[in-house]
Amino acid sequence: MPYVTVKMLEGRTEEQKRNLVKKVTDAVAETTGAPVENVVVFIEDMPKNHYGVAGKLYSDK
């Protein structure tokens, strides 16, 4: 049973997340041979103040 975690900055719509889950599921099933019913996708929305690049919080951009 493949498990996939997608971490991304907050702000995506439910429709974008729905499409992401469908496409990731299809890609994993196609490449691993796992049935789509066994593919699990976790989405972790990260607040912009929980993410830093080059020593600065993303929320400070």
Q: Which residues are catalytic?
A: 2
Q: Is 7 left (phi over 0), alpha (psi -120 to 50) or beta?
A: beta
